[in-house]
Structure formats: C-alpha cells, structure tokens
C-alpha cells in the first residue's frame, strides 16, 4: 500500500510546497491511523456498532449508551494514541449507517496539529447514511499550532430521508501560548455531499494561509478567534424549518456571531458561528444540534458533561 | 492586458464591465447592507478591507468558474452545465445563488441580441429550456469566449464588478465620498495580479473560499429587513 497518499486523495496544489519527506516518512506504520465504523439496527430494532476496524494511532472506544435524552443512542468516542497530529501523519475515518440506524460520534479531546517542518498532516473522512438513518458528528475543536499544515477532505453520501449533523470547530491556535494566533502555515478543508446516485448537493473548500492573507480581516475572521461550522443534511421540509428557526444574530455582549444559510435545493443548512471563546462557540453549535435532534428525533441534546 | 488585444476587444471589455450594463448588478450589495447595519463596516478604511475580501472571494470561486468556462468551452461546450451546478452547490447563500442566476440570464439575453455567435445562442437555449442554471460567471465565460476576450481581462472584469457593486452601494449606505470609493477601487486593483496568478491554474473542483463573516452577514441579510431596494 502506498502510505504517502491516502486512497482517492491526491495532493492538491496548495500542499505542493509542503511535500518533502519528513524524518519518519509520511503515512508509514504508526503514522496512518484508520477507523471504520458501521452502525445498523439489530434484530430487536436497537442501533448498534456492528462492525469496527481500526489501526493505530486511532483508538475507537466501545459504544456506550450514556445519552440521558436518548438512552437507545450508541455514542462513540474516537481517540488518538499518538498525541497531536505531526508531520506526515495520515488519518482515515469512514462511518456508515444502515437503514434506520442512529449514532453519536465525538472525539475524546481536541485535535492538536503540531508544528511541522517538511510535510503536512492529512485526514480523509467519509460518511454513508442509508435511508432514515441519523448521525450526530460533534468532534472537539481543531487547534493548529505554529507552522502546522493540515489537509482534510470529507465526502458525504446521504439518502434523501436520512439526517446528518456534521460539525467542526477551528481554533486560531494556542492563543495562550506566547500569543500563538493564526501562526499556522496552511489549512485546507473540503466537505462535499452527494446523494447515493452521485448527484452533488454541496461543496465547500476552505483554504486559510495566514502568511498570504491574514484571517483577521473584515469579511473573514475579523476580530474573532474561533470558527464553528455545522452542516445539516435532511429532508427539504426539515431543512426549511431549521433555517427558519435558526438563531441568526451578532451578539455583542457574548462576542459571537452566528447565521444559517439554506443550501441549494433545500437539501441542507450551513450554520456558521464566530466567537472569541471556545465554550461560547461550542454552546451555539450544540444548541443547533439540539434543535436538529428535537426536530428529527423528538428529543433535545442533554447538557454537556462538565469536564468537556 | 495582452498587447495583441484589438481595440474592439477592449471596447467589449469596457462595455461588459460598465455598471450601466443592464444585468441588475446595481441592485446588489454583496451583504454590505448587513455589514453597515451591524457596524462591521463604518468608514472608508473598513469599507476598503471589506471590498478586498469580497474580491478575493469572487476570484477563487466565480473567477475560477469563469476561467474554466473560457478555457474549456472550445473543447466541450457541455461542461458549462456542470460548472453551473458546481457553482450553485458552492454558494451557500440563497440570495447569492439567485443573484448569480438572475445576472447570468440577463447577460446572455443581452449578448444574444448583440451577437449571433453559436455559443451564445446555445447558452440562451439551455437557460430557456431549463438545462442550464445560468450562473453569472459561467455566462460571462461564454460571452468572453464569443467576444474573444482574454482570460486576464475576463478575470479583472469579474473582480471589478464585485468591487464596484460594494462601493456603489456604500455611497447610499455610508457617509462616504466618491473620491474615497474611487480610491478603494484603485487600491483594489493592486491585488488583482496576485489573485489571477493563484486562480488561473485552478480547476473547477479546486474553487475555494474563506469568508465566514461574509457568510454570517449573508444570513443576516436574508432574514433582515434592511434593503436598499424592494427586492
């Protein structure tokens, strides 16, 4: 297997300046984490984690049913034994949900992108949601350190009757470590969504290169430090309802800004949040997720654990 | 500008870039109404920064779509349909999608009256029959190909169009003078070469952006009541 490149992930032009081989190679053993998770309904109608495949440094915890509002919901945390993502790390995460199944996936801690010298860290993700399935993907934030480079490509295949809540929270850096704010080299993050017949629903590619164009610009991050994004794909009726009821405002007191946009063909909603503090952004993203769950499953999200 | 461009092509370019071109550009502000209402843009300095960010966003989305259209239309006309749908999937804001389609249809409608070129007639038919979404950048790419306008000129025209809609709207929304808005347009021209050098080699699937505050302003604009016009 060619470990230098992830399957179906060509090196995009923005990453070419960072294609030197790091000391321990790129994507070699111990630097190519894989997690494949498949959920489906068992004979009694309970949603379970039916298949799991993982390779270090990724660790997948056993599914737990700890959600007080939806005790039937399998909740899975993905961890990394390798600490932060370092030069030449490659990760693959593939999630699939069978018809009618449901799940909640998160990460155990923030994803730190360590300082890099030669290469970059890459993540390839895919989501396959069959009819009537439901998935909440709410990972902890990404924290890019000085000179970090990160490539992520997420592909979603979703049936028209399924619902996916997908979120990302992106920090400016280790802002309390010698004022490390937007000191990374490059972040390239792409999300594409399709119907099972390959009809494209949505595409977004964010490229942030602070040395070329600083994010602290009006229209980009302005004076905000943290960006949260939630993408919801569901039925057109659900999406229109979510869009109408989504909190769209600039909150001067809490220093946050949030707004929802209805995607082409009413196939989804993009909810963007900017803020100064992690907790404020996480809170807004979770509130929106709670709205989605209430609409689709009739139950809100439980309160976040005090230690998260 | 290429030295081999004839005066005729320069005239075409000026005509297409003129704010008087009847495609409805004057009625859009690229979310400036919300930016002013919420105190994001307050003066000439913040307007200049906002305008340049709008232009960057145009360069790496609409600009890439227009350049790909111009580059590939001679090989495979049907790619214009794919570029339209990719562009709509890339624009999260309903208002911006509608704006792009409205202007794209208008420019083709106008161009077919000005020139009998087969690509313009083909594009017009595709839009009329509902085969093409008719987005503005792809339509501009088709018009540029029909009028033999160079890629650099097409790119500059699109970026200028974005900048001019913002500063023209600013004259109605802010305490700002014509001299200040002209200075912003002049200063914005200074970043075009760099944007073009980055955008020209990108394929349609490599369109990208980073304008989260503009996304939120677009959301506020869609739900807000502040409008310069009745639309």
Query: What mean pLDDT is predicted for residues A97-120?
Result: 95
* % of chain B residues with pLDDT over 90: 83
Beta-carbon contacts of residue A54 (< 8 Å; ≥ 6 apart): A33, A34, A35, A36, A60
CB neighbours of residue A299 within 10 Å: 15
Number of separate domains in chain B: 1
Task: Say what the pLDDT of residue B196 is.
Answer: 98
What do you get for the CA distance between the two ends of chain A, in Å?
37
Residue B102 lies in a domain: yes
Residue B33 lies in a domain: no
Task: Say what the pLDDT of residue B9 is.
Answer: 87
Closest CA of chain B from A263, distance in Å: 5
- Interface check B218 vs A, CB under 8 A: yes
Reduce the DSSP state of residue B176 to 3 states and report it.
Answer: coil
Residue B138 lies in a domain: yes
Which CATH number covers residue B176? Answer: 1.10.4190.10
ipTM score assigned to the predicted complex: 0.94
Q: Which domain holds residue B95?
A: 42-218
Q: What is this structure's pTM?
A: 0.93
Binning pLDDT at 50, 70 and 90, where does residue B120 land?
very high
Chain A residues whose C-beta sits inside 8 Å of any chain B C-beta = 12-13, 188, 190, 200-208, 213, 215, 217-222, 224, 227, 229, 248-250, 257-264, 270, 272, 274
Q: Which of A14, A151, A200, A219 to mutate to test the interface with B (most CBs of B within 10 A)?
A: A219
Q: By 3-state DSSP, what share of chain B in percent is helix, strand and coil, each rounded to 5?
A: 70, 0, 30
Judge contact between A118 and A20, C-beta under 8 A: yes
- Interface check B65 vs A, CB under 8 A: no
- Among candidate residues A113, A103, A110, A171, the one with its CA nearest the CA of residue A139: A110
Reduce the DSSP state of residue B78 to 3 states and report it.
Answer: coil
User: Phi, psi (5° rounding) for residue B221?
Assistant: -65, -40
Residue B25 lies in a domain: no
Task: Say what the pLDDT of residue B24 is.
Answer: 76
Each residue's pLDDT tens digit, B15-41? 888 878 888 777 778 899 999 999 999
- Interface check B41 vs A, CB under 8 A: yes
Lookup: tokens for B120: 């313009």
Q: Which residues pair with A169 in a beta bridge?
A: A228
- Interface check B217 vs A, CB under 8 A: yes
Closest CA of chain A from B93, distance in Å: 6
Per-residue pLDDT at B230 exceeds 60? no
Each residue's pLDDT tens digit, B146-155? 999 999 999 9
Judge contact between A35 and A58, C-beta under 8 A: yes
Each residue's pLDDT tens digit, B126-149? 999 999 999 999 999 999 999 999
């Amino acid at each position: 297997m060619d470990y230098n490149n992830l399957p179906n992930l060509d090196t995009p032009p923005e990453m070419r300046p960072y294609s030197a081989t790091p000391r321990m190679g790129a994507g070699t053993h111990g630097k190519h984490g894989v997690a494949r998770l498949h959920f489906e309904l068992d004979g009694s109608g309970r949603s379970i984690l039916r298949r799991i495949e993982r390779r270090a440094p990724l660790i997948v915890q056993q599914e737990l049913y700890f959600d007080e509002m939806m005790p039937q919901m399998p909740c899975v945390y993905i961890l990394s034994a390798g600490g932060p993502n370092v030069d030449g790390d490659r990760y693959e995460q593939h999630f699939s949900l069978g018809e009618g199944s449901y799940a909640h996936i998160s990460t155990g801690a923030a994803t730190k992108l360590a300082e890099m010298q030669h290469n970059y860290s890459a993540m390839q993700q895919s989501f396959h949601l069959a009819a009537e399935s439901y998935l909440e993907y709410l990972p902890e934030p990404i924290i890019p350190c000085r000179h970090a480079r990160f490539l992520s490509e997420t592909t979603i295949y979703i049936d028209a009757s399924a619902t996916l809540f997908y979120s990302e929270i992106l920090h400016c850096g280790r802002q309390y470590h010698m004022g490390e704010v937007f000191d990374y080299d490059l972040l390239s993050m792409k999300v594409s969504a399709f119907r099972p017949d390959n009809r494209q629903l949505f595409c977004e590619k964010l490229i942030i290169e602070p040395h070329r164009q600083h994010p602290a610009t009006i229209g980009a991050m302005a004076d905000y430090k943290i960006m949260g994004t939630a993408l919801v794909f569901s039925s057109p009726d659900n999406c229109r309802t979510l869009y109408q009821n989504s909190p769209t405002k600039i909150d001067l007191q809490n220093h946050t800004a949030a707004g929802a946009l209805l995607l082409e063909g009413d196939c989804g909603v993009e909810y963007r949040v900017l803020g100064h503090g992690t907790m404020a952004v996480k809170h807004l993203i979770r509130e929106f997720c709670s709205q989605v769950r209430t609409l689709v499953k009739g139950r809100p999200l439980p309160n976040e654990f005090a230690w998260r | 500008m290429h030295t081999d461009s004839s005066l005729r092509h320069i005239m075409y370019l000026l005509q297409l870039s003129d704010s008087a071109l009847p495609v409805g550009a004057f009625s859009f502000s690229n979310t400036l109404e919300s930016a002013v209402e919420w105190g994001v843009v307050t003066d000439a300095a913040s307007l200049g920064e906002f305008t340049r960010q709008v232009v960057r966003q145009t360069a790496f989305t609409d600009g890439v779509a227009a350049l790909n259209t111009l580059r590939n239309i001679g090989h495979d006309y049907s790619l214009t349909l794919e570029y339209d749908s990719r562009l709509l999937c890339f624009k999260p804001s309903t208002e911006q999608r509608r704006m792009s389609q409205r202007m794209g249809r208008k420019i083709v409608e106008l161009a077919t009256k000005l020139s009998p070129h087969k690509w313009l007639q083909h594009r017009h038919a595709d839009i009329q029959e509902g085969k093409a979404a008719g987005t503005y950048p792809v339509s501009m790419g088709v018009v540029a190909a029909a009028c033999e306008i160079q890629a650099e000129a097409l790119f500059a025209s699109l970026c200028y169009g974005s900048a001019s809609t913002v500063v023209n709207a600013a004259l109605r929304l802010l305490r700002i003078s014509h001299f200040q808005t002209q200075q912003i347009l002049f200063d914005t021209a200074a970043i075009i070469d760099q944007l073009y050098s980055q955008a020209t080699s990108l394929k349609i699937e490599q369109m990208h952006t980073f304008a989260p505050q503009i996304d939120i302003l677009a959301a506020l604009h869609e739900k807000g009541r502040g409008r310069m016009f009745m639309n």
